[in-house]
């Protein structure tokens, strides 16, 4: 591995999620990009003039050239202008691309910004559109249009339910174990005032009594879309060290993508997180046992289960026993999604993926307040995009 580990996270900003229907559609994506970035740079103590790299996702106001749209709006010239298109793994994907660019000398300070609040007039513009498609494309020539959508396999719920059902048929299914993931995360959310479900504790019985949406997934195992947004400043380690925060070194990273629709996965119960995590730990020179907390993408409880298994924190098929035996809360023996996870923090669109980066960074910087994991030095972050189909792993360490 040639990555020298020269990049660190210097600061971040994160908007408190709100129910999407209640969020004020005030700012367009470029405007949110600017506002979030300015807040993150202020947090990092880095002057905006030092920014020479950006990573952005696509956004509704432009069908192409999103990075140039952002640099023009910000009024900056950069040596690294990245477009990341990995669904929920986009945020984690931005972080490692920024680190690699810094390591290669392309940039010194890279903004990874993910707006997640409704833009003005978005509602009216998508009224007639097929928003129900989720991550599927209905364009003629797209395999989803031809082989998925006609059967109603649209949105995310059915696909994740298919994965969970297959998992259960292979390894057995313990609904209470899956529910416990949501419950432990909800416990942690009680210590995070920014979490949308702060103040609303949850029991396993509550989860199992919530309506069945697509068997075996209950409503309270499914993420709720919210408004929000986040920005993370990735900088050369020495620049990060000059700011007010304890820098968080990006030690290792990995990625795995094989398919878009799980029907065509080699094995629906095995994700590409395995190769991503192996690559990340090898690059970091760290072992799983050295991780103090994990923040893994949790659009559904089954996502967490498969990620913990495939990332190597427990053996394949033993995830349910693992989450049952371990306390996943911030004060437990295996802290997982201490911000509440997206299940309890809220999912501000693809910025939901950045909430896991921010969760880990907050812990490693020692800024998690009442939800602080004592002695957190090493964190593992996972991003999952599409229908369990795009995976990014990050290993982070406090400097």
Partner 1 sequence: MTASTGTGGAAAKPEPTPTATTRPFWNGLRDRKVMLQYSPSTDAWVFYPRVLAPGSLTDDLQWREASGAGHVYSYTVTRRPTAAPWAADVPQIIAVVELAEGPRLTTELVNVSDDAVKVGMVVRPVFCDSKTGGPTLLRFEPAAGPADSQEERP
The contact set with partner 1 (CB under 8 A) reads 130, 132-133, 138-141, 143, 145-155, 157-158, 161-163, 165-166, 168-169, 211-217, 261-264, 268
How many Å separate Cα 229 from the centre of its chain? 12
Of 130 and 200, CB closest to partner 1: 130
Q: How far is the CB of 396 from partner 1 (least distance, A)?
A: 34
Would you mind telling me the total number of residues written for the chain in this entry?
Answer: 399
Considering the complex, state which of residue 146 and residue 238 has its C-beta at the smaller distance from partner 1. 146
Tell me whether residue 20 or residue 97 sits nearer to partner 1 (CB atom).
Answer: 20
C-beta of 151: minimal distance to partner 1 in Å? 5
The residue (of 147 and 369) whose beta carbon lies closer to partner 1 is: 147
Nearest-angstrom CA–CA distance, 116 and 126 = 16
What distances in angstroms separate CA 218 from CA 33, 182, 210, 269, one per listed residue? 34, 11, 6, 19
Smaller CB separation from partner 1, 250 or 306: 306
Could you count the other beta carbons within 10 Å of the beta carbon of residue 150? Answer: 10
Q: C-beta of 20: minimal distance to partner 1 in Å?
A: 18
**What DSSP line would sit under 317-361, residue for residue?**
T-HHHHHHHS--STTSSS-B-TT-HHHHH-B-TTHHHHHHHHHHH
Kindly provide the b/e burial profile for residues 19-40, where b requires at least 16 CB atoms within 10 angstroms of the residue's own CB: ebeebeeebbbbbbbbbbbbbb
378 and 396 in contact (C-beta within 8 Å)? yes
Least distance from partner 1 to the Cβ atom of residue 128, Å: 12
Report in angstroms how near the CB of residue 241 gets to partner 1 at its nearest. 46
Work out whether strand 109-115 and strand 226-236 pair parallel, antiparallel, or are unpaired: antiparallel
81/268 with CB nearer partner 1: 268
In the bound state with partner 1, the residue whose beta carbon lies nearer, of 2 and 140, is: 140
258 φ/ψ angles, rounded to the nearest 5 degrees: -130, -35
Residue among 17 and 262 whose Cβ is closer to partner 1: 262
E strand spans, 223-281: 226-236, 248-257
Q: Which is nearer to partner 1, 5 or 143 (CB)?
A: 143
CA distance 299 to 182: 11
Give me the DSSP letters along 127-178.
Answer: TTS-GGGTT---STT-HHHHHTGGGT--TTHHHHHHHHHHHHHHH---HHHH
Gyration radius from the chain CA atoms: 20
Query: Which tokens sit at 172?
Result: 């057995």
Closest to partner 1 by CB, 107 or 161:
161
312 CB neighbour count, 10 Å cutoff: 17
Tell me how far, at minimum, the Cβ of 165 lies from partner 1, in Å: 5
CB 87 within 8 A of CB 350: yes
Q: How far is the CB of 174 from partner 1 (least distance, A)?
A: 16
CB of 209 to partner 1, least distance (A): 14
Between 141 and 199, name the residue whose CB sits nearer to partner 1. Answer: 141
In the bound complex, what is the minimum distance in angstroms from residue 21's beta carbon to partner 1?
A: 18
Cβ at position 147, least distance to partner 1 in Å: 5
The sign one gets for the Cα dihedral 244, 245, 249, 254 is negative
- What is the closest distance, in whole angstroms, from the C-beta atom of residue 155 to partner 1 in the complex? 5
Query: Do the strands 109-115 and 53-56 form a parallel or antiparallel pair, or are they unpaired?
Result: parallel
């Amino acid at each position: 591995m040639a990555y020298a580990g020269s990049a660190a996270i210097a600061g971040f900003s994160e908007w408190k999620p709100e129910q999407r229907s209640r969020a004020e559609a005030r700012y367009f994506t470029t405007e949110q990009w600017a506002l979030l970035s300015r807040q993150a740079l202020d947090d990092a103590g880095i002057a905006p003039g030092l920014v020479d790299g950006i990573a952005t996702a696509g956004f509704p106001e432009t069908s192409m050239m999103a990075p140039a749209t952002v640099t023009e709006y910000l009024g900056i010239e950069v040596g690294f202008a990245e477009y990341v298109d990995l669904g929920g793994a986009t945020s984690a994907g931005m972080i490692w691309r920024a680190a690699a660019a810094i390591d290669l000398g392309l940039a010194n300070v890279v903004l990874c910004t993910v707006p997640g609040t409704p833009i003005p007039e978005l509602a009216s513009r998508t009224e007639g559109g097929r928003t129900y498609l989720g991550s599927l494309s209905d364009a003629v020539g797209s395999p989803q249009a031809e082989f998925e959508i006609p059967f109603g396999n649209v949105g995310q719920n059915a696909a994740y339910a298919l994965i969970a059902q297959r998992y259960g048929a292979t390894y057995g299914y313990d609904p209470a174990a899956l529910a416990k993931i949501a419950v432990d995360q909800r416990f942690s959310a009680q210590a995070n005032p920014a979490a949308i479900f702060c103040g609303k504790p949850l029991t396993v019985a509550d989860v199992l009594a919530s309506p069945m949406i697509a068997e075996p997934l209950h409503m309270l195992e499914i993420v709720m879309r919210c408004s929000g947004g986040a920005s993370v400043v990735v900088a050369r380690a020495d620049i990060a060290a000059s700011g007010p925060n304890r820098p968080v070194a990006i030690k290792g990273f990995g990625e795995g993508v094989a398919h878009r629709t799980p029907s065509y996965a080699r094995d629906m119960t095995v994700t590409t997180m395995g190769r991503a995590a192996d690559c990340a730990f090898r690059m970091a020179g760290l072992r799983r046992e050295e991780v103090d907390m994990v923040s893994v993408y949790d659009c559904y409880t089954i996502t967490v289960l498969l990620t913990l298994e495939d990332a190597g924190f427990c053996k394949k098929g033993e995830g349910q026993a693992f989450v049952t035996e371990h306390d996943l809360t911030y004060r437990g023996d295996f802290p997982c999604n201490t911000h509440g996870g997206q299940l309890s923090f809220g999912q501000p669109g693809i910025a939901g993926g950045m909430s896991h980066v921010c969760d880990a960074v907050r812990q490693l910087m020692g800024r998690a307040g009442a939800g602080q994991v004592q002695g957190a030095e090493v964190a593992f972050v996972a991003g999952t995009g599409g229908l369990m189909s795009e995976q990014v792993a990050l290993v982070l360490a406090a400097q």
